[in-house]
């Protein structure tokens, strides 16, 4: 899998004096750290659209698409910790140091690398307990947006960084006096009545794809840059409710200096996508950036590096990855825009944004509430029906509902109505496949997923779900490639934990226990509230003879599972069919054997 370079805001945090606290009270300290993460740190990271790259013992490394969001998150975490530590004795108090940097990173499946990451770690070490330290690059980007009184620390020499760092610090005593989230000191902005009127007229999901620049130094390569532009334009036009300016109009801006705000006003769009292509031999680099046409803010950027002789395959993969990422990003941005009088589309976008935050009971409930508001405002909305059916089916599949039968019954009715109105609705076909899968009717789900992919080649969720059905129909050789492709095309997808888990299950059925544990632990780390990975880890650990770890995972699987499937082998089999005899026999020899060894009774 090709590594990806991209610009990111990097947040590094570490608990102060954690070893000393653990020596004094190991169990209590560990439980307090988990509580802080669960109740404050992780919710704040989600709220500011961050992604936890990894935990490093008592610390963590987090990636944000926005420098402003990264700093806001850091401040709100430290504010929250200062409140939570009030009245706590020194020998029980957990405090964080946080460093924030922005820079180019090399992104792989489960980690990010590069000087940008190293500098964030060094800044964290410079921070005071309960304080924050940022780089000059971060300071320059936030100084006119967030009016926090950072102190200039000047140039600092730090380990393993060639040049001194110019650092800025927000002192603990300043943070302690700040509000947690209300009244944050954001620089005031005002809009004229004319600007407000114009903004109200522009469609919320609207974009122009400017011609990608050819940076190859060879005019003969212009055709490839134009082909990328054409394909991205076409793929974005397939997104629900997206208005995309025509290729001919967009190409009229080639080689002309453009003011993003003026361009947005002229074309009536909210977003501008710019990009460049550089080709040298069989190596190709594509850079893209999404810009808010109203504020000129850079919302998202990505770099794709490839070595290939198959330009057509490369062209398909690059354009698909851009379209998938933009679909997630535009939904997030638009859902966050304030609206005094939200309409049905507002509620649909907000529901999708909540769903994209990951699978939890709370997120499912909030998405359903928002979609019901959308249907109240627009009872005929095909999109609202399809998305509501999707959320209902998803929480059944994720074992996060106490009303599975009624959820599936309602989802069937909603998706039937959507497909009656719009038979070529790609997402509705995907949802119908999900409903069949929730009912263990895998053979019937496959053509629905295939229909979704034929109607929208960017439907990575349909691709992954198709791979899931191959698991149950016995075509195990097709499962891992489908999920690896989904991960490659949407490496920040909210359903990534499920994809990791499914790859791990195939390895377990093949008795590749260590590889299975590696993938399923990734799933558990990415979303610890999914019951399934805990159950499969219980089996895998038991097969390795690690009985204490197996018991811990089994207890967590039982706690999280809404249908009590881990109470007994018979109960599990009555709920979850493994389809083909091949899959059933392999599961019996591995997964169920491990569960029995972990202590799950037969009946």
| Domain termination residue (choose one: 457, 482, 508) | 457
Domain assignment present for residue 183? The answer is no
Q: Which helix (H) or strand (E) holds 175?
A: helix 172-176
pLDDT at 107: 81
pLDDT at 109: 66
In angstroms, the CA 273 to CA 316 distance is 18
Domain assignment present for residue 80? The answer is yes
Domain assignment present for residue 222? The answer is yes
In angstroms, the CA 67 to CA 14 distance is 19
Per residue in 123-164, pLDDT tens?
999 999 999 999 999 998 887 677 788 888 988 888 878 788
Domain assignment present for residue 189? The answer is no
> Which segments within 229-365 are labelled E, that is strand?
243-244, 271-280, 283-292, 298-307
List Cβ neighbours of 487 (8 Å cut-off, separation of 6 or more). Answer: 1, 109, 493, 496, 499
**Segment 259-267 mean pLDDT:** 81
**Segment 447-465 mean pLDDT:** 89
Cβ-based neighbour number of residue 156 at 10 Å = 15
| Domain termination residue (choose one: 145, 176, 207) | 176
Among the residue ranges 78-82, 340-344, 421-425, 588-592, the one predicted with the least confidence is 340-344
Of 59, 54, 48, 57, the C-alpha closest to 9 is 48
pLDDT at 330 over 80: no
pLDDT at 183: 31
**What's the pLDDT band for 339 if we cut at 50, 70, 90?**
low
pLDDT at 284 over 90: no
Q: Are residues 331 and 356 in the same domain?
A: no
Domain assignment present for residue 185? The answer is no
The CATH number given to whatever domain includes residue 359 is 1.25.40.10
Per residue in 177-215, pLDDT tens?
765 443 344 444 444 433 443 444 577 778 889 999 888
| Domain termination residue (choose one: 146, 176, 206) | 176
What pTM was computed for the model?
Answer: 0.55
The CATH number given to whatever domain includes residue 92 is 3.30.70.1230
Q: Are residues 28 and 155 in the same domain?
A: yes
Number of domains in the chain: 4
Residue range(s) defining the domain that contains residue 534: 468-603
In angstroms, the CA 554 to CA 532 distance is 10
pLDDT at 271 over 70: yes
Of 44, 23, 138, the C-alpha closest to 91 is 23
Q: Are residues 374 and 328 in the same domain?
A: no
Per residue in 93-103, pLDDT tens?
899 999 999 98
């Amino acid at each position: 899998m090709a590594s990806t370079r991209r610009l990111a805001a990097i947040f590094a945090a570490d608990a102060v004096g954690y070893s000393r606290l653990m020596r004094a009270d190991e169990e209590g300290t560990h439980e307090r750290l988990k509580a802080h993460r669960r109740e404050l740190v992780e919710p704040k990271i989600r709220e500011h659209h961050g992604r936890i790259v990894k935990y490093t013992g008592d610390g963590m490394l987090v990636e944000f698409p926005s420098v402003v969001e990264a700093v806001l998150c850091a401040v709100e975490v430290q504010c929250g910790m200062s409140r939570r530590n009030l009245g706590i004795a020194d020998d029980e108090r957990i405090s964080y140091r946080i460093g924030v940097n922005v820079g180019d990173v090399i992104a792989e499946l489960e980690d990010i690398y590069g000087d940008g990451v190293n500098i964030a770690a060094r800044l964290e070490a410079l921070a005071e307990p309960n304080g924050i330290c940022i780089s000059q690059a971060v300071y320059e980007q936030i100084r006119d947006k967030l009016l926090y009184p950072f102190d200039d620390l000047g140039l600092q020499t730090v380990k393993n960084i060639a040049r001194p760092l110019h650092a800025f610090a927000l002192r603990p005593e300043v943070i302690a006096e700040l509000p947690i989230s209300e009244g944050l000191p954001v620089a005031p902005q005002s809009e004229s009545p004319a600007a407000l009127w114009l903004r109200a007229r522009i469609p919320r999901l609207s974009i122009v794809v400017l011609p990608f620049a050819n940076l190859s130094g060879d005019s003969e390569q212009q055709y490839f840059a134009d082909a990328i532009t054409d394909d991205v334009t076409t793929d974005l036009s397939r997104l629900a409710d997206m208005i995309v300016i025509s290729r001919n109009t967009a190409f009229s801006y080639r080689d002309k200096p453009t003011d993003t705000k003026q361009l947005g006003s002229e074309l009536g769009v909210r977003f501008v996508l710019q990009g460049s292509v550089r080709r040298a031999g069989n190596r190709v680099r594509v850079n893209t950036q999404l810009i808010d046409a109203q504020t000129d803010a850079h919302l998202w950027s990505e770099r794709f590096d490839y070595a290939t002789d198959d330009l057509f395959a490369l062209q398909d993969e690059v354009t698909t990855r851009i379209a998938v990422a933009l679909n997630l990003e535009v939904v997030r941005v638009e859902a966050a825009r304030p609206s005094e009088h939200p309409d049905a589309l507002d509620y649909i976008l907000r529901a999708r944004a909540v769903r994209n935050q990951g699978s939890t009971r709370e997120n499912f409930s909030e998405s359903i509430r928002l979609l019901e508001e959308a249907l109240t405002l627009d009872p005929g909305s095909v999109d609202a029906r399809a998305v509501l059916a999707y959320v209902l089916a998803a929480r059944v599949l994720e074992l996060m509902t106490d009303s599975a039968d009624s959820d599936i019954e309602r989802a069937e009715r909603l998706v039937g109505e959507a497909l009656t109105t719009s038979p070529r609705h790609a997402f509705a076909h995907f949802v119908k496949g999900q409903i069949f899968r929730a009912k263990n009717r895998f053979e019937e789900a496959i053509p629905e997923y295939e229909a979704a992919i034929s109607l929208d080649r960017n439907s990575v969720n349909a691709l992954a779900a198709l791979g899931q059905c191959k698991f149950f129909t016995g075509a195990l050789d097709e499962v891992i490639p489908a999920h690896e492709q989904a991960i490659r095309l949407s490496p920040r997808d909210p359903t990534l934990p499920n994809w990791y888990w499914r790859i791990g299950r195939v390895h377990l059925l093949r008795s590749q226990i260590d590889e299975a544990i590696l993938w399923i632990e990734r799933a558990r780390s990415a979303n610890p509230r999914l019951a399934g990975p805990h159950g499969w880890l219980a089996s895998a650990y038991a097969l390795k003879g690690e009985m204490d770890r197996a018991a811990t995972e089994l207890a967590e699987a039982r706690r999280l599972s809404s249908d009590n499937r881990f109470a007994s082998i018979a109960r599990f089999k009555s709920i979850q069919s493994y389809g083909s005899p091949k899959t059933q026999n392999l599961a019996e020899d591995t997964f169920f054997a491990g569960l029995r060894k972990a202590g799950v009774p037969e009946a």
